[in-house]
Amino acid sequence: MAISRRTFLTTSGVALAGASQVSSRIAAAGIPEAVTQMTPAMQPPLYPSSGPAYQPVVTLNGWTLPWRMNGDWKEFHLVAEPVVRELAPGMKAHLWGYNGQSPGPTIEAVEGDKVRIFVTNNLPEHTTVHWHGMLVPSGMDGVGGLTQPHIGPGKTFVYEFELKKSGTFMYHPHSDEMVQMAMGMMGMVIIHPRDPNFMRVDRDFVFMLGSFRIDPGSYVPKVAEMLDFNLWTFNSRVFPGIDHMPVRQGDRVRVRIANLTMTNHPIHMHGHHFSVTCTDGGWVPESARWPEATIDIPVGAIRAYDFKADATGDWALHCHKSHHTMNAMGHDVKNYIGVDLKDVRKKISRVVGGDYMPMGSAGMAEMGAMEMPAPDNTLPMMTGFGQFGPIEMGGMFTVVKVRENLAPNDYSDPGWYQHPPGTVAFEWQGDRPAPASAPAPQRKGAAAPPKNIELKAVKPDGKAHRH
């Protein structure tokens, strides 16, 4: 675990078992030191070292914030600060986030816990933290100006509340919201049920939907963008930089998705049917669930869905808005499908010099395999290869890898699926019959249609012409 030595805890999930002993010594010092994460790689689940057992979540390209016990309070320390987040290899964005990353770390605790969350503001402007969906005292709700003073730069505020309900929640600023969320400030809060058997699953993935407008060659999002975003992210990562989701066949799996973008995202998963079991308003009773293959995640909302991973394979999981599975591209691209661009190429080459290459006469798939020169810090618009070639996707896309033989809680990449012989679509090698036109539909008992139909058309000159 690449956690920096600013930590007050040791740096592995196993060693974190000793966290409560470490913390009792540090308790006298007041504020727990802030743990910072330096890598965008998915970190292993953080098992609880005290209190009720639960199956911890795994955050795609993320991590869970370690805590310490101080008496019967569970203490966390969030630091709001500028961060550099790699969106995918080849592009880094200068964002604002928490504890070294955007999104911030996932906070996990248990229903009934008393939590104390220290929030230090290392941003150049004030902020607050709102606990979205959580039932807290009004004065802990984090709405700057309404329920508390804003947290000025350099200041630390304390939030204290008891966790009334289990479920899936999130945190984000309620202070210069448009700017701070467009800069990447957000994180998840998972409250596990007190009864570890309630709604228990074997694997539990969480991620947040994000969107940024970062022009090619630049590093900082345009925070005033309203709709025309060009980078669509799962946890501030784009495909092929998004972690895959390794799952063992037979596992019960939960996927929890929070949306803090400015539009809805219909999330589609291949190979399985599933049901929404939890929203940011709590658990969905069984009688109110229905099967789905795509669920819409509204703006400012969370949906968690459950499924049993019975089918082995490599299953795509992606937003079904096709522009959201693309990386940065111009949005004024003309459609040249069906246009012969050979002449245009000669003419433009004459004007601009060199060898101009128009593209798109047969669609845009050629972009998937092509490496074109681009400004520094700019991702190709669709990248990522599978075992059969370019996947031709970017943005909000990942792969659920269901395998027979994964160890429980093994989240390492099992590689591409080894398809059983005879189960992959294949090229037809035999003869192809000449195209035949379909026979015209006939009503029963109707006379056969005439072979030649005479049409009479009236042209604007008012005279009838025969054809």
Contacts to Cu ion by CB under 5 A: 265, 319, 321, 324
283 dihedral zone (left: phi>0; alpha: psi -120 to 50; beta): beta
Residue 109 or 319 having the CB closest to Cu ion: 319
Residue 25, classed as helix, strand or coil, is helix
Residue 46 or 382 having the CB closest to Cu ion: 382
Nearest approach, Cβ of 209 to Cu ion (angstroms)?
Answer: 7
Residue 36 or 325 having the CB closest to Cu ion: 325
Q: For residues 448 and 310, what is the distance between their CA atoms, to the nearest angstrom? A: 53
Q: For residues 64 and 316, what is the distance between their CA atoms, to the nearest angstrom? A: 25
Nearest approach, Cβ of 118 to Cu ion (angstroms)?
Answer: 34
Residue 236, classed as helix, strand or coil, is coil
Cβ–Cβ under 8 Å, residues 271 and 310: no
Nearest approach, Cβ of 156 to Cu ion (angstroms)?
Answer: 36
Nearest approach, Cβ of 257 to Cu ion (angstroms)?
Answer: 11
Residue 329 exposed, middle or buried by CB count within 10 Å (0-12, 13-18, 19+): middle
Q: How many angstroms separate the Cα of 436 from the Cα of each of 427, 431, 439, 443?
A: 21, 15, 9, 21
Residue 34 or 328 having the CB closest to Cu ion: 328
Distance of CA 411 to the CA centre of its chain: 18
Cβ–Cβ under 8 Å, residues 126 and 152: yes
Nearest approach, Cβ of 287 to Cu ion (angstroms)?
Answer: 30
Residue 244 or 324 having the CB closest to Cu ion: 324
Q: How crowded is residue 441: how many other Cβ atoms within 10 Å of its Cβ?
A: 7
Nearest approach, Cβ of 413 to Cu ion (angstroms)?
Answer: 25
Nearest approach, Cβ of 445 to Cu ion (angstroms)?
Answer: 52
Residue 8 or 229 having the CB closest to Cu ion: 229
Residue 308 or 321 having the CB closest to Cu ion: 321
Indicate the DSSP class of residue 112: T
Q: For residues 75 and 324, what is the distance between their CA atoms, to the nearest angstrom? A: 37
Residue 319 or 381 having the CB closest to Cu ion: 319
Nearest approach, Cβ of 319 to Cu ion (angstroms)?
Answer: 3
Nearest approach, Cβ of 66 to Cu ion (angstroms)?
Answer: 32
Nearest approach, Cβ of 234 to Cu ion (angstroms)?
Answer: 10
DSSP 369-426: T------TT---SSEEEETTEEEEE-SSEEEEEEETTPPTT--S---S--PPTT-S--
Distance of CA 303 to the CA centre of its chain: 12
Q: For residues 387 and 245, what is the distance between their CA atoms, to the nearest angstrom? A: 17
Residue 65 or 257 having the CB closest to Cu ion: 257
Strand locations in 163-241 (E): 167-172, 187-192, 203-212, 231-234
Residue type, 430: G
Residue 83 or 295 having the CB closest to Cu ion: 295
